[in-house]
Amino acid sequence: MLKIRSLTKTFFPGTPNEVRALRGIDLDLADGCFAAIIGTNGSGKSTLLNAVAGTFLPDTGTLELDGHTITDWPEHRRATLVGRVFQNPFAGTAAEMSIAENIVLATRRGQPRGLGFALSHKTRDEIADRIRSLKMGLEDRLENPIGTLSGGQRQALTLLMATWLRPKLLLLDEHTAALDPKSAAQVAVLTKEIVTREKLTALMVTHSMQQAVQLPDRIIMMHHGNIVEDYSGERRARVRTDDLMHAFDRVRRRDLFDSTVAETVLPQYA
Amino acid sequence: MTLVIGAFTIGFILSLLALGMLISFRIQRYCDITVDGSITLGASTAAVLLVHGWSPWAATLVACLAGSAAGAVTGLLHTKFRIQELLSGILTMTALYSINLRVMGRSNVPLLDVPTLADGPEKLLRKLAGGAEALNVAGWAVPTRDLAMLLTVFVAVAAVAIALRFFLLTHLGTIIRAAGENAQMARAQGADDKRMLVFGLAVSNALVALAGAMLAQYQGFADVQMGIGMMVWGLASIIIGEALTGKCSPGMAIVGAIMGTILFRLLIAIALRWGLDPNDLKLVTAAFVFAALVLPSWFGRLGRRIFGGRHA
Amino acid sequence: MKLTTTAYPDRLEIKAEGRLDAAWAEHFLEATRRAVREGHHQLRLDASGLEYLSSAGIRSLLQTHREAAAVQGSFKIIRAADFIVQTLRMSGFDSLLALDEGAVATDNPAPKAPAKHAKAGGWTAPGMDVEIHPLGGASAPLRAANLGRWQTWSRVNLAACRELELGAERTALGIGTPGQGDDLAAHLGDFLSVGGCTAYLPGDGSEAPDYLVGTGQFVPKLRVADALHATGPFSHVVRFQPDDSGSALNIEQLLDAAFATTGARSVAAVILAEIDGLVGMAWAKSPGLIAADSKPAEFPAVREWLSFSGERVHGGDLALVVAFATTEALPQGVSIPALPSRKDWRVHAHAAVFPFRPLPNGPIEMAPTVQQLFAGAAPQALLHLVEDDRPALGLGHSAFIRGACWCAPIQFTSEELS
């Protein structure tokens, strides 16, 4: 479904602030696979997600999604194939517009928008029906500005919006990180539910080891702009949070193993 | 009575300016300074075409197109060339000053004995009134011509307001509103927020130019200086409107902008009648906008201090 | 609840005032565990200030009793008020009550730790209480050998890998695997073996050590590429604990104690101790995969093969260390690397890490103690200990807070002695 080939991105090239955020990423995501990306701060995990979403264009490499080469597609064009939920609950919705108006936008994601009246009675009923399935009691508040809702409710609605039209790929960028623990758990459960029910292909960046172990079919670990671990299949099945913590520890220790260490340690391995 | 009729007429004309600015400033949250130039552009274009014998309808339409072109230029400067928001507007506005002089050939074009948009309604009124030069309105004799002008601008504003209200509730209108509030979200929904901005600024400045064209026909002249300070007037109208109707739905915001403009013009008319020096008008307006922007939070803080609430 | 502790020469009294109920039981248990960890194995609860004792409280008393008994200590309740006595009697736990309390009430408190047991001429260290106990038996050097003799960083010759039996009498460390055949190359990793218990780290990238425990007829065997081993009973045990918190002994000091105690120039040492910090390395990949013409020992390629602890790790856990050290010339075929900061010392040490558990005081026996350790918990990590003597940045030596160091004089032979 998603095919990433030798993707690189360097921010501020040639300056003291140069950041080699992606250093040649190769990744294949099968249809219907729910993968989580974990990694240290600055490992490039969010950059990778943004590269797929089209927030910026990569320096080199190619992106292929559902048979389309989307490397040069601008962000809004990729939205025809991609649904997104952001870390910031305010990022995915327009606060001053009503719940219904926000959702009606998602009913035309990536499609031409004409001069037809947006919120017909039929659309409104359909929206109410699907919001009812969230069991948050929001179906009676369709006219309220979405800004009056809690972060968890907004993230749940953003998730609903991102998947209203079945996306070829769902991108979740630490979408529970800004929520209180209870809402985060609710949104995580909802995510799993929707992804499983709709058999979605999804890529989720998370910093929660617990989430990484509970939700996805595949766990990818990034460090310094590279993929350093890829747990899938049998290996994925036996992964526990401890294993992920060890993997983090391993890459951290590897960074501490510099040439001075090698100099003092290697004679002791003679 | 003439004063009131005049205030209403100018009020309705400038409502078009306020509606245009409602799109850029409020819906798209884009601080568009082009307005000062494009209202003059509308006036000068219409005036010159009228002098050259064009029909008022065609002249007004071309003025609108010119305005939308100006808005689009500002939008493109910002989106394609990544020039800052305010600076793009300033560049277009400055360029428009010379363009307006070029269009008119001099700094002022009087419109004497040329047909205007009000001619049709005036004929209609005269026919209804049996050819009278003035009509009795609530005991006052009002020139038919003034009434016809008022009627014309009212119909124009009503048409624009209704069209705008319905447009904002369409799929396209909804995504434009969303793009103004949260461009990131609009992109995630597949909307090209840059194109939306250019489109919105074009519509906005078309309305502003329409206001300019009508103002020229009402005043009987176009002047290269006439746009100065118009943006602040429009802003004042919008702020008053929001105080009257709140910010909630697009419909209420539109009604508010119109009511705000008229109320503002009435206040100015009264102030002038009481002896306010017309030269001080812009200072007073600027002071008013300043107060409207600053006082609410200042009062809020004062209130908290007085009533011992929590400090922010 | 308020807890006050007073140390006497033969016991630690904990005076509890207030309610010992569900809310405080865990707190009480933590306090007694800390006391046991610090070497106070004879515990007394002064119950005169107790106002209430719930079932959760009784449970914490029983747990304390159990944990003290596990290190051959004791736990008794003294000066109990009538209602406490009644409660314990009714629950059938009156065995916890000390009825001869008159005898203990008159002692003078001795806040300082008990008198030192160091024998005349024994090894000492500042800030440490050290006891040295001979373990009986002959003190003739054990025969020690180097089996396999893989030249580090060269390609492993699978045919040259030897089988090493790891019975209860044998102490060993090295690189090996229980695997067979081709499997061997991909699974070589560090191991250590004491008292018939072997911990090894499979060199397959998994970070979890595995272990083999000899029972009955079963004697664990490893195929080893390189191993140091010695067979026979150890001659001494050095017990150490800080006399005030904050002191620790590093591995160089403990080996110095072993040299001094045995009077030999080559020693084998087994350390079982609470960790202050370990500094070490582990194979990230099986050295059996090293290709013939590669240069794995160059930086940065070496990072693919070895993983470095990066900091002093596993503080507070329990380490089982096997070390071979010598200050004399080694016979042909035996190789042990020199210490960076002390070139006349050659040391090779491996450590397995276990969750902390207290050890009984006094002269404890090596094999049974290690067997109990393996019966109680699995090793969590296994490291090849190194000295990091980089200026400023260096992590130094691995160090230990309290525990036991068994030692034996050894005599290296140039035979392999499989």
Residues of B in contact with A117 (CB under 8 A): 166, 169-170
Rounded CA gap, A151 and A158, in Å? 10
* Whether C338 and A252 lie within 8 Å, measured CB to CB: no
* Whether A256 and C340 lie within 8 Å, measured CB to CB: no
Spell out a b/e string for C122-132, using b for 16 or more CB atoms within 10 Å of the CB, else e.
Answer: bbebeebbbbb
- A226-230, B255-259, C115-119: which has the minimum mean pLDDT? C115-119
User: Best interface-test mutation with C: which of A239, A242, A261, A263 has the largest number of C CBs within 10 A?
Assistant: A261
Q: Shortest CB distance from A260 goes to which of C152, C338, C393? A: C393
Residues of B in contact with A77 (CB under 8 A): 190
* Whether C337 and A268 lie within 8 Å, measured CB to CB: yes
* Whether C207 and A253 lie within 8 Å, measured CB to CB: no
The CATH number that domain A2-259 falls under is 3.40.50.300
pLDDT band for position C115 (cuts 50, 70, 90):
very low
Rounded CA gap, C402 and C239, in Å? 8
* Whether C308 and A264 lie within 8 Å, measured CB to CB: no
User: Best interface-test mutation with B: which of A80, A93, A105, A160 has the largest number of B CBs within 10 A?
Assistant: A105
* Residue C103: per-residue pLDDT: 47
- B129-133, C16-20, C156-160: which has the minimum mean pLDDT? B129-133
Which tens digit of pLDDT belongs to each residue from A129-187? Answer: 989 888 888 888 888 999 999 999 999 999 999 999 999 999 999 999 999 999 999 99
Measured CB to CB, residues of chain A less than 8 Å from chain C are 246, 250, 252-254, 256-270
* Whether C338 and A267 lie within 8 Å, measured CB to CB: yes
CATH 3.30.750.24 in chain C, residues? 2-104
Is the bond leading into C300 cis (omega within 30 degrees of zero)? yes
- Tokens representing residue C150 in the block: 């893989």
* Residue C32: per-residue pLDDT: 95
Measured CB to CB, residues of chain C less than 8 Å from chain A are 152-153, 207, 281, 284, 297, 299-300, 302-303, 306-311, 335, 337-340, 384, 386-390, 393-394
- Tokens representing residue C315 in the block: 């503080």
Q: Shortest CB distance from B185 goes to which of A94, A108, A110? A: A94
Which tens digit of pLDDT belongs to each residue from C22-63? Answer: 999 999 999 999 999 988 999 999 999 999 999 999 999 999
* Residue B308: per-residue pLDDT: 55
Residues of A in contact with B166 (CB under 8 A): 117
Average pLDDT over chain A, rounded to an integer:
92
* Whether B193 and A86 lie within 8 Å, measured CB to CB: no
CA distance B174 to chain A (A): 7
Mean pLDDT confidence for A30-44: 92
- A155-169, A236-250, C358-372: which has the minimum mean pLDDT? A236-250
Domain ranges for chain A, please list them: 2-259
Nearest residue of chain A to residue C300 (CA atoms): A259
Tell me, rounded to whole angstroms, the distance of Cα C111 from its chain centroid.
28
* Residue B250: per-residue pLDDT: 84
| Residue-level pLDDT, tens digit, chain B, 312 residues | 777 888 899 999 999 999 999 999 999 999 999 999 999 999 999 999 999 989 999 999 999 999 999 999 999 999 999 999 999 999 999 999 999 999 999 889 998 888 888 888 888 888 887 777 777 777 777 888 888 889 999 999 999 999 999 999 999 999 999 999 999 999 999 999 999 999 999 999 999 999 999 999 999 999 999 988 889 889 889 988 888 887 668 888 999 999 999 998 888 888 888 888 888 888 888 888 888 778 777 776 776 666 654 443
Domains of chain B: 2-275 (1.10.3470), 277-312 (no CATH)
* Residue B249: per-residue pLDDT: 81
Residues of B in contact with A115 (CB under 8 A): 167, 170-172
Name the packing angle between helices C22-37 and C55-70 (round to 10°): 10
Highest-pLDDT range among A76-85, A238-247, B111-120: A76-85
Distant-in-sequence, close-in-space partners of A115: CB < 8 Å, separation ≥ 6: B167, B170, B171, B172
* Whether B171 and A113 lie within 8 Å, measured CB to CB: yes
For the cut 60, the answer to whether the pLDDT of residue C113 exceeds it is no
Nearest residue of chain C to residue A252 (CA atoms): C310
Tokens 């697009």 belong to residue: B250
Q: Is C118 exposed, middle or buried (0-12, 13-18, 19+ CB in 10 A)?
A: middle
Q: Shortest CB distance from A260 goes to which of C337, C384, C390? A: C390
Q: How many CB pairs under 8 A join A and B?
A: 91
Touch test B–C: 3 Cβ pairs or more under 8 Å? no
User: Best interface-test mutation with A: which of B162, B176, B189 has the largest number of A CBs within 10 A?
Assistant: B189
Rounded CA gap, B228 and B239, in Å? 19
* Residue B312: per-residue pLDDT: 38
Domain C2-104 homologous superfamily, CATH: STAS domain (3.30.750.24)
* Whether B189 and A106 lie within 8 Å, measured CB to CB: yes
| Residue-by-residue DSSP string for C148-198 | S---TTSPP-GGG-EEEE--TTEEEEEEEES--TTHHHHH-EEEEEETTEE
Of the candidates C406, C349, C347, C336, the residue with the CA atom closest to the CA atom of residue C383: C349
Residues of A in contact with B169 (CB under 8 A): 117-119
* Residue C368: per-residue pLDDT: 94
Q: Shortest CB distance from B190 goes to which of A86, A104, A109? A: A109
Q: Shortest CB distance from A270 goes to which of C308, C337, C393? A: C337
* Residue B240: per-residue pLDDT: 87
Rounded CA gap, C241 and C131, in Å? 9
**What are the phi and psi torsion angles at C43 (to 5°)?**
-105, 140
The continuous run of DSSP H or E covering A110 comes out as none
Rounded CA gap, C379 and A191, in Å? 38
Nearest residue of chain C to residue A250 (CA atoms): C307
* Residue C121: per-residue pLDDT: 54
The continuous run of DSSP H or E covering B296 comes out as helix B281-306
Which tens digit of pLDDT belongs to each residue from C60-110? Answer: 999 999 999 999 999 999 988 888 888 888 888 878 777 555 445 445 555
Residues of C in contact with A270 (CB under 8 A): 152, 335, 337
Nearest residue of chain B to residue A97 (CA atoms): B178
Rounded CA gap, C46 and C36, in Å? 17
* Residue C356: per-residue pLDDT: 95
Touch test C–A: 3 Cβ pairs or more under 8 Å? yes
* Whether B173 and A118 lie within 8 Å, measured CB to CB: yes
* Residue B306: per-residue pLDDT: 66
Rounded CA gap, B20 and B212, in Å? 12
* Residue C369: per-residue pLDDT: 95
Of the candidates C255, C190, C227, C284, the residue with the CA atom closest to the CA atom of residue C397: C255
Residues of A in contact with C152 (CB under 8 A): 269-270
Rounded CA gap, C412 and C334, in Å? 8
